[in-house]
Amino acid sequence: MRRFLLCLVTLPFLLSWDCRPAAPPVSVSNQPITSNVRPLKPLAEMSWTDSESRVQKLGDLAGKAVILDFWATYCPPCKEEIPHLNSLIAKHGADNLHIVGLNVGGAEDLPRIPQFVASTKIDYPIAFPEDELTRFIFGERDDIPQTAVFDRKGKMVTKIIGFSPAIQKQLDAAVEEALKSD
């Protein structure tokens, strides 16, 4: 009887422990990783929607190197990364390199985006990823920023989590590699 009462008392506690909401994603890593998660549809079909409800697919950008940067307004490393992403566009040109900032901050982040974009002077489009693209990119970890670099053929070169001076160098090298592909 005691065991039964003990189980009855501890069961609700254990169930409530498993149902806790996850902490908001924040960059905790300075290491690049390679994803082992397989996409459920071709990468070229992965899409995002801009603020005017226009849908764009990765395949629409064939011939350009592409950076998909997953971010939120409340993420300090995301904000630190923006000037460098702007400099990559300036260096390589929009005809060669296309960057999309994909906001994953949730509904509470939406009203903050216009002010954030204005104050950080983002030089690339902001959009919202489809669920499958988010699942694929965040398949192993949900920290942000996550920056995925694709070559001119749409093949993922690398995915990087976080931002630091060392990661900046890794990102630069990945962009150079993506631009070389034909």
Does residue 48 surpass a pLDDT of 80?
yes
pLDDT, tens only, 118-163:
999 999 999 999 999 999 999 888 899 999 999 999 999 999 999 9
SS3 20: coil
Write down the pLDDT at residue 34: 43
Question: For residues 28-65, b (16+ Cβ closer than 10 Å) or e, as one string?
Answer: eeeebeebeeebeeebbebbbeeeeeeebbbeebeebb
pLDDT, tens only, 85-110:
999 999 999 999 999 999 999 999 99
Q: Name the DSSP class of 110.
A: G
Instruction: Domains for the chain: give ranges and CATH numbers.
Output: 25-180 (3.40.30.10)
Does residue 63 surpass a pLDDT of 70?
yes
